[in-house]
Structure formats: structure tokens, C-alpha cells
Amino acid sequence: MATTLLLDGLTKRFGSTVAVDDLTATVRPGRVTGFLGPNGAGKTTTLRMLLGLVRPTSGTATFDGRAYEDLAAPTREVGTLLEATGFHPGRRARDHLRVLAAAADLPRRRVEEVLAQVGLVDAADRKTGGYSLGMRQRLGLAAALLGDPPVLVLDEPANGLDPQGIRWLRSFLRSLAEEGRTVLVSSHVLPEVEQTADDVLVLSKGRLVRSGTLAELRSAARGGTAVRTPDPARLRAALEAAGSSATDAGPDELHVPLAPERVGELAAQAGVVLHRLAPAAGGLEQVFLDLTADAAPSDGAAA
């Protein structure tokens, strides 16, 4: 069941644009791997190379050593959801899945099962032309699940989903990984994978700028405490008296390089009223922004 994905020196040039630049990474089973990068970073291009839709300029991408084209039954081995996957607008959703199931030689029963899994049973007989963005996304997910595959490669699966849909997707991806499957999910926003991913690959301008566990990324985050008080001057004085410091983080708000518990204690001792006391938000987000900004030459002459 466990399948490891290996990207090895993967490179793709479109004319003078380097969409993906010498990308080497491992995606492990039993974990959700977030594939992050801003718009145009090369996520979709990477996934399309992985799936044999785009021919790499150089490098390889393999599933336990086999290229996608060489898999005996791709639909049973890798479930895929890609950006810009289309549906014939005049074809009913159920028929779309029936076509794929027929081509993959899967039993008809699977169509009904995945329709139920993504919550599309009631809309299954409608033509996809009348589907909303979120419904299309669910239908795409249903297609990815058809072969009950040990590997899932999903390009921005949360696009267009409503909050319930996103929550469902998160727990669904987690449960798939807990079953030992390999789950690779791309996103251009960190919070989307923050609660789901175990590992992250961060791509910027086609280059891998970070890979590792989400925990590692988190520990690189700034940390500290965000605190709001009507009397920042007195709190600052109390903190400095205790050997710490504080920086302004907005009106009535300070950032303190201490744990929230310690800040609370010092404030109580000094009798300062607090309106808010929390771990500094956006720490991880900031790491992500820094990472993807660093490798961004503004002239775009990446060659």
C-alpha cells in the first residue's frame, strides 16, 4: 500500500520561462505533504510532470521507482485532481464518472460510492455545465477517489469549497494519510494546509526553498506573544524591569519575545489590564512569506 514519490532534478522550461528548476524532493506515505508556493511558482507544472501530462525538460518523477506512464493501473494507484480539469458541460456528473470508471475498468458500484463520499448523490444526474465551482471541485475529488488509490495528488483541492467543505476535506485528507496513503496537496495559502499537513515543500519561482516537517517550519517561526492592553507604556516598563522587551505591533498592541503565560504573570504583578493575550499570530505565515519573497528576483530573468 505504501508508495513513496520521488522527484529528482525535475526541470521544466517553457521557452525562456523556467517554470520548475531542478526540483528534488521525497513525498512519504502515511503523511499529508503540503506543496506550497505563490501563484506561478510552478506547482501545477510539477504535478503535471509527475503525472506524465507535461514532459520534463530534464529530471524524473517516480512512484516507487516507476514513472506514471509505466503504472499498470494508474487509476487504482494514483488518484488525481488537477487545476483546469474539465467536464463536458452537457454530460451528467454521474456519466462523467462512469466514463472514467469504464476506461479504468472499475466496477460501476465505485461511481455510486464516490458520489456518496463527496456528497454529490442528489446532484449526480445534473449536467456539469450547471455545476458551481465547489460542486465541480467535489466531482473532481470523486474522480480522484474512484480507484481507491494509495496515492493522492491534489492540486488546490480546497478551491471553491465552502467552509464545511474545507473542514470535511481536511479531516478526509488526514484520515487518508492515517490509513497509510501518500497525500500530496498543493496550495498557495499556508493556513489551508497548516492544520492538515505533516510535511511541507515550499516552492518559489520554480525552486524548492524549503522542505521538511511542518513542525520544523513552525519552530523557525518567530514565536513570542501578541498582547493588547489599554496601557502599553506601563506594560512595557514592567516587561523591561523583568529583563525582557516589547515592540509595537499596532495601536495598543505589543509583541513580546516571551511565552504568553510569562507575559500574563508579569502583567498581573504590575496590575496592568490586558484585553488580549495570545501566541504571536502569523508566525508561520510570515516564514512562508519570507521564504517565497527571498527567492524572488524581481526582473524575472531566471535562467
Q: Which residues bind other proteins (CB under 8 A)?
A: 44-45, 48, 51-55, 68-69, 71, 74-75, 80, 82, 84-92, 95-96, 98-100, 102-105, 143
Min separation Cβ 206 and ligand ATP, Å: 7
Q: Which residues bind Mg ion (CB under 5 A)?
A: 43-44, 83
How many Å apart are CA 266 and CA 40, to the nearest integer?
Answer: 46
Nearer to other proteins, 105 or 265 (CB): 105
* Amino acid (1-letter code) at residue 38: P
How many Å apart are CA 127 and CA 71, to the nearest integer?
Answer: 32
Min separation Cβ 287 and Mg ion, Å: 21
Interface with ligand ATP (CB under 6 A), residue from 31, 43, 96, 228 = 43
Nearer to ligand ATP, 45 or 229 (CB): 45
Q: How many CB atoms lie within 10 A of CB 5?
A: 20
- Please state the φ and ψ torsions of residue 272, each to the nearest 5 degrees: -90, 130
Nearer to other proteins, 53 or 268 (CB): 53
- Can residue 17 be called a binding residue for ligand ATP (CB under 6 A)? yes
Q: Helix or strand or coil: residue 72? A: coil
Q: What would the DSSP string read from start to end of 216-245?
A: HHHHTS---EEEE-S-HHHHHHHHHHTT--
Q: How many residues bind ligand ATP (CB under 6 A)?
A: 13
Q: Is the four-CA dihedral 37, 38, 42, 44 of positive or negative sign?
A: positive
Residue 157 binding target from Mg ion, ligand ATP, other proteins, none, CB below 5 to 8 Å by type: none
Min separation Cβ 249 and Mg ion, Å: 33
Q: How far apart are the first and last CA of the chain?
A: 40
Of 38-46, 84-92, 105-113, 250-258, the segment contacting ligand ATP by CB under 6 A is 38-46
- Can residue 19 be called a binding residue for ligand ATP (CB under 6 A)? yes
Element containing residue 140 per DSSP (H, E): helix 133-145
Nearer to other proteins, 84 or 301 (CB): 84
